[in-house]
Amino acid sequence: MFRSTKVLELGSGYGLAGLVIAASTDADEVVISDGNPQVVQYIQQNISINAETFGQTKVKSMILHWDHEPASEIISSFDIIVASDCTFFKQFHGSLARAVRSLLKHSETSQAIFLSPRRGDSLSKFLEVIKKNGLSCELIENYDPTVWNMHKKYVLGDYRSWPNYNEEHCYPLLLRISRSE
């Protein structure tokens, strides 16, 4: 899936997903972004510490604010965008959807892959905004047998290690977002 692609991680925190993609796939380039300049400094430190694990993959960090127009050199330039737990703030839904739309390549195979719990109506509201911004979305609940089985056990209360498990806030659903046109 990532072979010879340009990947962007949005709202990455310290960049774990981007670092894993860079270290374990044959992506051409991975850009790990966040809107907080201090966090982006930590991302850059993590990139430097792990540089030898990336093989031929180019890895860099950048400050990216969803509510600002992206720099022209990155518009329509990413094959894959990944994000985790970025849909819970409803006030950012529009800017996040617009960012995804402007950053994804105009290609049948380009897509954004989000992992996000429902968090009340936050996820459903985000899906509405996605459609209004010319994007389509596939919501997948059971995307990995190991994750699904652990989720089911937590729901049934089988694991004492997570006694307050609440699937609305804890179980990440998979969203595949692509351009509608």
State yes or no: pLDDT of 69 exceeds 70: yes
- Residue 180's pLDDT is 77
Residue 35: per-residue pLDDT = 93
pLDDT in tens, 84-142: 999 988 999 999 999 999 999 999 999 999 999 999 999 999 999 999 999 999 999 99
Tens digit of pLDDT for each residue in 9-61?
Answer: 999 999 999 999 999 999 999 999 999 999 999 999 999 999 999 999 999 99
Torsion angle (degrees, nearest 10) of CA 153, 157, 159, 163: 130
pLDDT for res 159: 67
Q: pLDDT at position 161, please?
A: 72
How far lies 139's CA from each of 28, 79, 123, in Å? 27, 19, 10
Cα dihedral 29/114/21/38 (nearest 10): 80
3.30.479.10, 3.30.70.20, 1.10.10.10, 3.40.50.150: CATH of 6-179: 3.40.50.150
**For position 181, what pLDDT does the model report?**
66
Q: Determine the Cα angle at 132 with ends 139 and 102, to 5°.
A: 90
Determine the pLDDT at residue 158: 73
Give the residue with greater pLDDT, 156 vs 101.
101
Q: For residue 131, give the 3-state DSSP assignment.
A: helix
Instruction: Give the domain ranges of the chain.
Output: 6-179
